[in-house]
Amino acid sequence: MYKTIILGYTTMIHSSNLINEAKELRTKGHSYNEISKKLSIAKSTSYLWVNKIELNVQAKAKLKKKKIIARLSALEALRKKRELIKDEIIKKANKLVTQISINTELAKLLCSLLYWAEGAKSDKSLVTFINSDSNMVLTFLKLFRCAFALDEKKFRGLIHVHEYHNETEIKKYWASITNIPLSQFQKSYIKSHTKIRIRNDYKGTISIRYYDYKIALELYFIYNRFAKTLVIEGV
């Protein structure tokens, strides 16, 4: 019995000493997490012991600085983690793409999917692809020219630009991108502008048109058949 009392008293002294030490650390500007680590106690315990202590200006400033440093450190750790994830994904993407061999059949399929997503299909007598992303336009044309035996003279280019843009320069830009001669560009569509937002570096949108009913129909049936195979029949 006496031994139990002595042990209990010792524990009380030990707890009291820890509490006092925790309070002293807090007044010096230590965080709850730092106190818990220094004294080997739970963070919730450190909070319970010292959360009502009034801090002076110096201690508050010290804690504020630590929070800023911790936040910046967390952001940097997150950035590094995302960079590692990004690098890993890039490696996987590079490996996947380098293993793909583009033949005529695959080119037709990929071309039809791009056409399904970004093409205008109201006029079934021609293939119309509209976009402002030069890489997207180049990809479509590369696949389109690979998939079909084309007559380059059937291509037509039409650009959509705002009235404040240099139409001539933008036409030259898209002619170099698409390898469609300027002589095959139609009259540009000039859009009015609210002047709320001006994009001087914007190259406009290009509408590429190729007049061939059979090719337009083939692309239409390829993407529809492909979608039906995936959704209804399964692959």
Quick: pLDDT tens for 141-160.
Answer: 999 999 999 999 999 999 98
Between residues 194 and 65, which one has the greater pLDDT?
65
In this structure, what token pair is assigned to residue 148?
A: 């079909």
Sorting pLDDT into bands at 50, 70 and 90, what band is 165?
confident
Give pLDDT tens digits for 96-116.
Answer: 999 989 999 999 999 999 999
| H-run or E-run covering 161 | strand 155-162
Sorting pLDDT into bands at 50, 70 and 90, what band is 214?
very high
Q: Is there a domain that residue 152 lies in?
A: yes
Range of the domain at 128: 104-233
Entry pTM? 0.70
- Looking at the fold, whether 116 and 69 belong to one and the same domain comes out as no
Is the pLDDT reported for residue 5 higher than 50? no
- Looking at the fold, whether 177 and 128 belong to one and the same domain comes out as yes
Query: 36-40, 162-166, 185-189, 220-224: which range is least confident on average?
Result: 162-166
Q: Is there a domain that residue 175 lies in?
A: yes
- Looking at the fold, whether 135 and 25 belong to one and the same domain comes out as no
Q: Is there a domain that residue 123 lies in?
A: yes
- Among 205, 206, 207, 221, which Cα is nearest to 124's? 221
Q: Is there a domain that residue 98 lies in?
A: no
Find out whether 137 and 193 touch, Cβ atoms under 8 Å. no
Give the whole-angstrom CA distance, residue 41 versus residue 23: 13
In this structure, what token pair is assigned to residue 86?
A: 């990004």
Give the whole-angstrom CA distance, residue 205 versus residue 47: 60
Give pLDDT tens digits for 54-74.
Answer: 888 888 888 889 889 989 999
- Looking at the fold, whether 125 and 64 belong to one and the same domain comes out as no
- The SS3 of residue 15 is helix
Sorting pLDDT into bands at 50, 70 and 90, what band is 133?
very high
- Looking at the fold, whether 56 and 148 belong to one and the same domain comes out as no
- Looking at the fold, whether 136 and 209 belong to one and the same domain comes out as yes
- Looking at the fold, whether 108 and 71 belong to one and the same domain comes out as no
- Looking at the fold, whether 111 and 51 belong to one and the same domain comes out as no
Q: What is the pLDDT of residue 21?
A: 87
Domain C-terminal end among 77, 92, 121:
77
| H-run or E-run covering 189 | strand 189-191
Average pLDDT, the chain: 87
Give the whole-angstrom CA distance, residue 81 versus residue 58: 34
- Looking at the fold, whether 108 and 201 belong to one and the same domain comes out as yes
In this structure, what token pair is assigned to residue 167?
A: 């139409």
Strand partners, 190: 161
Q: Is there a domain that residue 21 lies in?
A: yes
- The SS3 of residue 203 is coil
- Looking at the fold, whether 47 and 128 belong to one and the same domain comes out as no
Q: Is there a domain that residue 82 lies in?
A: no
- Looking at the fold, whether 117 and 195 belong to one and the same domain comes out as yes
| Mean pLDDT of all residues in 16-35 | 87
Beta-sheet strand order (sheet of 126-131): 119-120, 126-131, 205-211, 155-162, 189-191
Number of structural domains, the chain?
Answer: 2
- Looking at the fold, whether 124 and 14 belong to one and the same domain comes out as no
